[in-house]
Amino acid sequence: MKDRKGSSGRHCPRGLHILYEDEDILVVDKSSGLLTMGTPVKKEQTAYARLMNYVRKGNAKSRKRIFIVHRLDRDVSGVLIFAKSYQAKLSLQEHWHDADKKYLAIVHGNLTEKAGTITSYLAENASHHVFSVSDKEKGKLSHTVYQVLKETKTSSLLEITLLTGRKNQIRVHLADIGHPVMGDHKYGIRNKTGGRLALHAFSIAFDHPYSGKRVSFEAPVPEYFKLLLGRQKQNHGQ
């Protein structure tokens, strides 16, 4: 089984960094602001479209293609997995509940409990806004595990482990406990910061669809996170 780690000299699609590639999977580090796949309004500028062109080497008639395994929100950066065959996609999605997914988030304020699990039933309205409900008949059970890694006087860096993978789950759960993700204008504090959403899919581990071996990948912590934490310290010290 041939494999490539990193971009290995091949053209690297804009907004994406190739972390790993073999005959079955393609693992990338997606930048914030890039859609995973198209919508009725925006179809071309997506990770899926750019990587499809990448595997086809610009040849639209090529039979090579990729398959979406999971998604990251447009404003979330980090590790994103694609399958390179339909069989690999089915295998990955069948066992996706066994994947270990970890995120990093910078949130407003300091948490009283430095580690814990946030649990609620998540529902979505017609405006695509996700929210917690108490009625289990109206939402899907969701669990988010967090641990505080670092604190300033005005913010905290959290490591998040997803036990379930609902839409906008991390953002909603952290807003529910009064510590929204910085830069989250949908569920958090509007216009508080002008920067990107401070949420990053840091690592993922799963069983390889061909070998069955456990494999893991990490996306480097964005420089913006380091700058944001440093800025919070500096502003408080003035």
- Active site (catalytic) residues: 73
Q: Which two tokens stand for residue 208?
A: 């390889």
Closest CA to 69 of 54, 86, 45: 86
List, as own/partner pairs, every contact residues 129-133 make where C-beta atoms lie below 8 angstroms and the sequence separation is at least 24, other chains included.
129/186, 130/166, 130/167, 130/168, 130/169, 130/171, 130/172, 130/187, 131/172, 132/172, 132/173, 132/176
